[in-house]
Amino acid sequence: MNSVLFPLGPLETNCYLVHDNSRAFIIDVGGDPAEVIAYLREHNLSLTHILCTHLHFDHTLGVQALAGATGATAYASDKDRFLLEESSYGAPQAGKTAFVNLDPGSFPLLSATCAVLSTPGHTPGGLSFHFPEFRTVFVGDSLFYRSIGRTDFSGGDFPTLTSSIRSRLFTLPDETVAYPGHGPHTSIGEEKRFNPYVGAAA
Ligand SMILES: [Zn+2]
């Protein structure tokens, strides 16, 4: 697996591009995807999936442009669809972007399995994407390095978020690397021990 990080948009949201020799998928597109498109062309990659961990504007601003340029399909949970009608911080929303609903379950992606985990709390439709073969999970704004996501936005709920983290993320193997929507990556084992909100010290 090759993984490339592009911090995009006003909040420098982590946009992860994962690819093999010919195919690619993307996690979240928080701003102008020009450099992502350039990378895809330079490496002759076909982008098939745009996976959105949730539908806050800082994770979706560039989805429509990227889907339009590549023909890739964008996926998110229907439970977050109401967020597309809201404008956060007065920023433009991805209201016209077409998303295909993604429910919890598994499907093949590149040479691996993508397990879609329901991790609500930051938003009602929050998803995490676990790739057992890559020992990797993309967690959006649910879990951060030594922190967790905000729960004061529309539909957010603190007990729901901590329950999602404990039951769906902390049950993954300790060595699983967790890639969040903002800031540095961490591991499930490290956060189980050291996270002040949901770890052993909480
Ligand atoms: Zn968010």
CA torsion sign, 164 to 134 to 47 to 28? Answer: positive
- State the distance from the centre of ligand 1 to the C-alpha of 82, rounded, in angstroms: 14
- Give a yes or no: residue 84 inside a domain: yes
100-101 and 105-109: which strand pairing? unpaired
Looking at the structure of the chain, the number of domains it has is: 1
In a domain, 102, yes or no: yes
In angstroms, what is the span from residue 34 Cα to ligand 1's centroid?
A: 22
pLDDT digits (tens, 9 = 90+) for 57-112: 999 999 999 999 999 999 999 999 999 887 655 555 555 678 999 999 999 999 99
Q: Report d(CA 186, CA 146) in Å as an integer.
A: 8
Q: What is the pTM of this model?
A: 0.95
- What string of DSSP letters covers 93-160? --TT---EE--SEEEEETTEEEEEEE--SSSTT-EEEEEGGGTEEEEETSEETTEE----STT--HHH
Would you state the pLDDT for residue 1?
Answer: 81
In the reported structure, the alpha carbon of residue 194 is separated from the centroid of ligand 1 by a whole-number distance in angstroms of: 22
Domain range enclosing 155: 2-194
Question: How far is the centre of ligand 1, averaged over its atoms, from the C-alpha of 94 (Å)?
Answer: 14
Cα(122) to ligand 1 centroid in Å equals 7
Cα of 58 to ligand 1 centre, how many Å? 7
Residue in the structure block whose two tokens are 């020992």 = 135
CATH of residue 97's domain is 3.60.15.10
Residue 200 lies in a domain: no
Residue 139 in any domain: the answer is yes
